[in-house]
Amino acid sequence: MFSVSGIVRRSGARALAISFLVAAVLVTGVAAKNQKSINGNVNETFTAGYCPAPEQNLICAVSSGSGQISHVGRVKSAFLAKIDPAILFRYGCAPVSSNGTLTTNNGDQLTVLDSGTICLPLNPGDPATVTGDFTITQGTGRFTGASGVGTYVAPSYFSPDFSSGSSAEVYTGSVTLPGCDSNQNQSSDSSQRDCGN
């Protein structure tokens, strides 16, 4: 035996589940529509020394440079990286974390967090290898509300005393720009945001 109220309850639950599924698909579609692949290079120079207290046992490397990233444009970079030298010189590799900004010529900016590993070179004259993941956490100007993820590789050359050096970073990933149509490279809202090429 069945009851009308039982059928109504089951039908209502099914309808609710279907509506959540449709909403999820629509949101995913919008996110994919606004997502753009990014690839690019940033060449940097850096100076390194012990961090101020309370992180005086870590090495802080302050870097700046410039480069070109697809769907972002020409950028200037400014980053602060931190490394534990005790781990690096004992094991040859160590975790490295950094945070900083990529700023376009007109001042629009992306804030980026990097998390990876640095390994000392096996042979004199070879670069240290730095690899890891990056996360775009926020932006300003045309990047307001931006987010993104990806990977980076940064062969790095150090001076003999490790106080300075240079790196050539290669970024590969994606950035999501709210209000942008990835199929048309233009804003899908009334703000007419420049969504890049």
Residues 6+ apart with CB under 8 A from 158: 48, 128, 164, 165
In the structure encoding, which two tokens stand for residue 2, read together?
Answer: 């069945």
The predicted pLDDT at position 12 comes to 54
The predicted pLDDT at position 179 comes to 62
Burial of 61 (0-12, 13-18, 19+ CB in 10 A): buried
The predicted pLDDT at position 5 comes to 47
Quote helix, strand, coil % in the chain, to nearest 5.
20, 50, 30
The predicted pLDDT at position 39 comes to 96
The predicted pLDDT at position 178 comes to 80
Q: What is d(CA 196, CA 179) in angstroms, rounded to the nearest whole number?
A: 12
112, 103 Cβ separation under 8 angstroms: no
The predicted pLDDT at position 33 comes to 55
SS3 for 71? coil
Q: What is d(CA 144, CA 172) in angstroms, rounded to the nearest whole number?
A: 21
The predicted pLDDT at position 14 comes to 53
Give, for 69, the enclosing helix (H) or strand (E): strand 59-69
- CA distances 193 to 64, 153, 182, Å, are 28, 30, 12
Helices (H), the chain: 4-33, 85-91
> Which one, of 191, 185, 106, lies nearest residue 145 by Cα?
191
pLDDT of 84-119, one tens digit each?
999 999 999 999 999 999 999 999 999 999 999 999
Q: What is d(CA 43, CA 128) in angstroms, rounded to the nearest whole number?
A: 15
pTM: 0.76
- Residues in the chain predicted with pLDDT less than 70, given as ranges, are 1-33, 179-197
In the structure encoding, which two tokens stand for residue 171, read together?
Answer: 């970024």
Q: What is d(CA 158, CA 128) in angstroms, rounded to the nearest whole number?
A: 8
